[in-house]
């Protein structure tokens, strides 16, 4: 580990990012389309109208394709933890164990049991039992997401734990502090609800394609109306939970917030940026202006409000966070240099503790444990070479954040506009709006992925915020083996995505089952 | 239509739901082939040959693992 190869870290991170990005192509559609299918089937059970059965079956088929192709892609991430990130896996074992075990047992079995009824049980179970199975399958998928997101939130805000130097593991001291931390609750609602928006955009896009092809008018208009309602509720709630997430980031990960805003020099009453263009090559410590140009949102001092719920409050920038010295509720902020020193003290104390334990020297053990506990909050800083290492990739985080927010604004307008024009069936003649709906499908994915880039790249250099950076979390393995498996995954994922798109497009082209289509059109 | 079809009333019927479902697969058939192929590649090839658990493959006991990780984490000059 003395000479950990940076290419090993970079390839391991690239491999993890690739797997997570591909996994996240499938998950939000499962959650979002799943909810829409549940609503459609509920309408069918309530009204008994056969057109809703047909509509439900079509979207359920697309849900099934996505579910089947995407199933188990997340397990690859666990393989990577064990092989590429073994120090991390050992370090967090007790914390991750509980949520992932619950996810595996409860959620997986719930999904696996009821998805069979969902697809094989039409006409074999009662309508209400089938509907319950559909809701339970989608509920199981959402529960899966809950436990994974709790584990991820703990990496952003390691609450409810204590470090045991005997086992070199973090141990859970308070399950509810982990499960209900403000970061976890905000992350869960923001992630799941924004997935509803993605599912709604998917339904909107596919329905608009049918309208463009002058097919399935009634089916498309019915689907669009449901999608617009789910999408609008989803996007409004995503804005609310996004505000909550950003507030938590400001409190728990101020460096991430500074990167999200490209904020190098903080201050009181800071504006939130609507958009801007960063100066290329800008680095911490140089004299370049961070922006070529920037456009603040029309509400003055909004970043201060978002961060601290006060318009005149202080928000530290990257330079302030590195240099420290500003006032916080806990006292004067430490500089990164000071945190690095404290981190080194903590790491040294862990080494002393191990030596004292081997030598059976109880007083030395107690003394080392005391120093470790006093400095553990900065443990990870001891692995940083310089203060600049504590700064994430600012352009990537900044642009991802603003792309997510701008597209969030686009969807906030899109759903009510489409709902308005679909209500009186004007959309059937509006090709430009149909095309916008179709293009909104990839845009929804861009929004969703950009959110994860903000969350994960913004956390860098940390695997666990302030406690364990990625360069200490990595296994001491050969970079070439990680490169090889990176390309194996690239091929595997390319095949999976191609298969998904091919099967999905084929079923979309076939359209809803044609039985009684003419009658349905007449009826409607 | 619902009344003409035998509804599930026992665990046996529930098992037959699966059996009949798999027997009568239409558009789902390629999906199941993909799922099985994917699981085979993941668990029989990738997990076995490319993703051994780093610590489990080197150490037998938790004490050995924690001692190793402790040594790794206390070597501070990483670069």
Check CB contact of A168 with chain B, cutoff 8 Å: yes
Residue B25 lies in a domain: yes
Residue B21 lies in a domain: yes
A433 Cα to chain B: minimum distance (Å): 31
Q: What are the helix (H) ranges across A289-389?
A: 302-308, 318-323, 336-358, 362-375
Q: What pLDDT, on the 0 to 100 scale, is given for residue A272? A: 97
Q: What pLDDT, on the 0 to 100 scale, is given for residue B1? A: 41
Q: Look at residue B49 and give its three-state secondary structure.
A: helix
Q: For a pLDDT cut of 90, what percent of chain A falls above it?
A: 82
A185 Cα to chain B: minimum distance (Å): 31
A65: chain B residues, CB-CB within 8 Å: 31
Q: Name residue A294's beta-bridge partners.
A: A276
Of the pLDDT bands very low, low, confident and very high (cuts 50, 70, 90), residue B18 is confident
Q: Are B16 and A439 in contact (CB under 8 A)?
A: no
Tokens of B5: 């079809």
Q: Which residue of B has its CA nearest to A340?
A: B76
Residue B56 lies in a domain: yes
Choose the weakest-confidence range: A106-110, A283-287, A515-519: A515-519
Residue B61 lies in a domain: yes
Listed residue (A39, A515, A524) closest to B1, CA to CA:
A515
Q: Are A459 and A13 in contact (CB under 8 A)?
A: no
The answer to whether residue A318 scores a pLDDT higher than 60 is yes
Tokens of A372: 């470790």
**Domain count along chain B:** 1
Q: What pLDDT, on the 0 to 100 scale, is given for residue B5? A: 54
Q: What pLDDT, on the 0 to 100 scale, is given for residue A521? A: 46
Q: What pLDDT, on the 0 to 100 scale, is given for residue A459? A: 96
Q: pLDDT tens for residues A321-332?
A: 999 999 988 889
Q: For a pLDDT cut of 70, what percent of chain A falls above it?
A: 97
- Please return the burial class of A105, using the count of CB atoms within 10 Å of its CB with bins 0-12, 13-18 and 19+: exposed
A202 Cα to chain B: minimum distance (Å): 20
Q: pLDDT tens for residues A161-210?
A: 999 999 999 999 999 999 999 999 999 999 999 999 999 999 999 999 99
- Please return the burial class of A127, using the count of CB atoms within 10 Å of its CB with bins 0-12, 13-18 and 19+: middle
H/E stretch holding A464 = strand A462-464
Q: pLDDT tens for residues B29-66?
A: 888 888 888 889 888 998 998 899 999 999 999 999 99
Q: What pLDDT, on the 0 to 100 scale, is given for residue B7? A: 66
Check CB contact of B59 with chain A, cutoff 8 Å: no
Residue B17 lies in a domain: yes
Q: Name residue A114's beta-bridge partners.
A: none
The answer to whether residue A523 scores a pLDDT higher than 50 is no
The answer to whether residue A517 scores a pLDDT higher than 70 is no
Of the pLDDT bands very low, low, confident and very high (cuts 50, 70, 90), residue A520 is very low
Pairwise CA distance, residues A434 & A396, whole Å: 32
Q: Which residues contact A434 (CB under 8 A, 6 or more apart)?
A: A208, A209, A211, A212, A427
**Most A CBs within 10 Å: which of B1, B5, B20, B34, as the mutation test of the A interface?**
B34
Listed residue (A178, A173, A172, A189) closest to A153, CA to CA:
A178
Check CB contact of B12 with chain A, cutoff 8 Å: no
Q: Are A279 and A225 in contact (CB under 8 A)?
A: no
Q: ipTM > 0.95?
A: no
Check CB contact of A481 with chain B, cutoff 8 Å: yes
Check CB contact of B9 with chain A, cutoff 8 Å: no
Residue B79 lies in a domain: no
Cβ–Cβ below 8 Å for B78 and A385: yes
B59: chain A residues, CB-CB within 8 Å: none
Q: Which residue of A has its CA nearest to B30?
A: A503
Interface contacts A/B by beta carbons within 8 Å: 140
Region A481-496: mean pLDDT is: 92
Check CB contact of B56 with chain A, cutoff 8 Å: yes
- Please return the burial class of A476, using the count of CB atoms within 10 Å of its CB with bins 0-12, 13-18 and 19+: middle
B2: chain A residues, CB-CB within 8 Å: 123, 126-127
Q: What pLDDT, on the 0 to 100 scale, is given for residue A285? A: 85
Boundaries of domain holding B43: 2-74
Of the pLDDT bands very low, low, confident and very high (cuts 50, 70, 90), residue A3 is low
The answer to whether residue A219 scores a pLDDT higher than 60 is yes
Of the pLDDT bands very low, low, confident and very high (cuts 50, 70, 90), residue A73 is confident
Q: What pLDDT, on the 0 to 100 scale, is given for residue B2? A: 44
Tokens of A164: 């045991």
A477: chain B residues, CB-CB within 8 Å: 54
The answer to whether residue A94 scores a pLDDT higher than 90 is no
Q: pLDDT tens for residues A429-476?
A: 999 999 999 999 999 999 999 999 999 999 999 999 999 999 999 999
Specify whether the backbone of A490 is left (phi greater than 0), alpha (psi in -120 to 50) or beta: alpha
Residue B52 lies in a domain: yes
The answer to whether residue B77 scores a pLDDT higher than 60 is no
Q: What is the dihedral of CA A82, A86, A89, A92, to 10 degrees?
A: 180
Interface of A with B in 83-112 (CB under 8 A): 83-84, 86-87, 89-91
Cβ–Cβ below 8 Å for A1 and B21: no
Sequential DSSP letters for A138-174: HHHHHHHHHHHHHHHHHHHS--SEEEETTTTEEEES-
Minimal Cβ distance to B41: which of A116, A120, A492: A492
Cβ–Cβ below 8 Å for B55 and A90: yes
Mean pLDDT of all residues belonging to chain A:
92
Q: pLDDT tens for residues A260-315?
A: 999 999 999 999 999 999 999 998 888 899 999 999 999 999 999 999 999 999 99
Q: Name residue A277's beta-bridge partners.
A: A293
Residue B57 lies in a domain: yes
What are the backbone dihedrals phi and psi of residue A13, each rounded to the nearest 5 degrees, phi first?
-70, -40
């Amino acid at each position: 580990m003395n000479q950990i190869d940076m290419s090993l870290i970079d390839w391991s991170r690239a491999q993890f990012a690739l797997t997570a990005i591909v996994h996240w192509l499938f998950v939000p559609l499962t959650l979002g389309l799943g909810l829409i299918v549940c609503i459609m089937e509920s309408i069918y059970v309530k009204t008994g109208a056969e057109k809703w059965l047909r509509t439900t079956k079509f979207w359920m088929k697309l849900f099934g394709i996505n579910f089947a192709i995407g199933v188990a892609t997340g397990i690859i991430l666990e393989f990577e933890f064990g092989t590429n990130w073994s120090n991390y896996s050992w370090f967090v074992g007790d914390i991750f164990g509980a949520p992932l075990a619950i996810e595996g047992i409860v959620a997986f079995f719930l999904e696996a049991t009821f998805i069979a009824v969902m697809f094989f049980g039409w006409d074999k179970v009662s309508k209400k039992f089938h509907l319950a199975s559909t809701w339970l399958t989608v509920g199981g998928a959402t529960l899966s997401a809950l436990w994974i997101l709790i584990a991820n939130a703990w990496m952003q805000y390691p609450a409810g734990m204590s470090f045991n130097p005997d086992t070199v593991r973090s141990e859970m001291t308070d399950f509810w502090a982990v499960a209900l931390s403000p970061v976890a609750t905000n992350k869960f609602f923001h992630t799941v609800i924004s997935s509803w928006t993605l599912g709604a955009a998917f339904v909107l896009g596919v329905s608009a394609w049918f309208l463009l092809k002058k097919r399935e008018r009634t089916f498309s208009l019915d689907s669009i109306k449901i999608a617009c309602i789910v999408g609008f509720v989803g996007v409004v709630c995503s804005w609310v939970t996004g505000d909550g997430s950003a507030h938590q980031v400001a409190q728990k990960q101020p460096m991430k917030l500074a990167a999200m805003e490209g904020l190098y020099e903080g201050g009181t009453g800071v504006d939130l940026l609507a958009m801007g263009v960063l100066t290329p090559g800008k680095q911490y410590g140089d004299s370049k202006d961070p922006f070529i140009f920037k456009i603040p949102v029309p509400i003055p001092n909004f970043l201060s409000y978002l961060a601290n719920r006060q318009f005149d409050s202080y928000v530290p920038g990257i330079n302030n966070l590195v240099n420290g010295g500003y006032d916080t509720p806990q006292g004067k902020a430490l500089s990164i240099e000071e945190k690095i020193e404290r981190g080194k003290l903590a790491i040294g104390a862990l080494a002393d503790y191990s030596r004292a334990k081997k030598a059976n020297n109880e007083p030395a053990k107690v003394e080392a444990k005391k120093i470790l506990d006093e400095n553990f909050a900065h443990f990870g800083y001891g692995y940083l070479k310089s203060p600049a290492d504590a700064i994430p990739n600012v352009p990537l985080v900044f642009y991802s954040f603003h792309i997510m927010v701008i597209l969030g604004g686009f969807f906030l307008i899109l759903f009510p506009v489409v709902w308005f024009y679909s209500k009186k069936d004007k959309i059937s003649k509006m090709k430009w709006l149909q095309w916008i709906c179709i293009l909104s499908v990839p845009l929804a994915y861009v929004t969703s992925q950009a959110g994860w880039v903000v969350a994960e790249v913004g956390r860098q250099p940390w695997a666990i915020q302030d406690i364990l950076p990625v360069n200490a979390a990595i296994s001491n393995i050969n970079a070439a083996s990680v490169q090889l498996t990176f390309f194996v995954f690239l091929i595997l994922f390319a095949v999976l995505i191609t298969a998904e798109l091919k099967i999905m497009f084929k079923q979309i082209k076939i359209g809803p089952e044609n039985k009684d289509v003419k009658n349905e059109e007449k009826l409607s | 239509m619902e009344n003409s079809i035998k509804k599930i009333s026992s665990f046996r019927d529930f098992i037959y739901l699966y059996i009949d479902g798999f027997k009568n697969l239409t558009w789902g058939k390629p999906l199941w082939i993909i799922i099985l192929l994917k699981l085979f590649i993941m668990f029989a090839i990738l997990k076995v040959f490319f993703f051994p658990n780093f610590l489990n493959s080197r150490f037998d006991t938790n004490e050995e693992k924690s001692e190793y990780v402790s040594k790794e984490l206390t070597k501070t000059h990483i670069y």
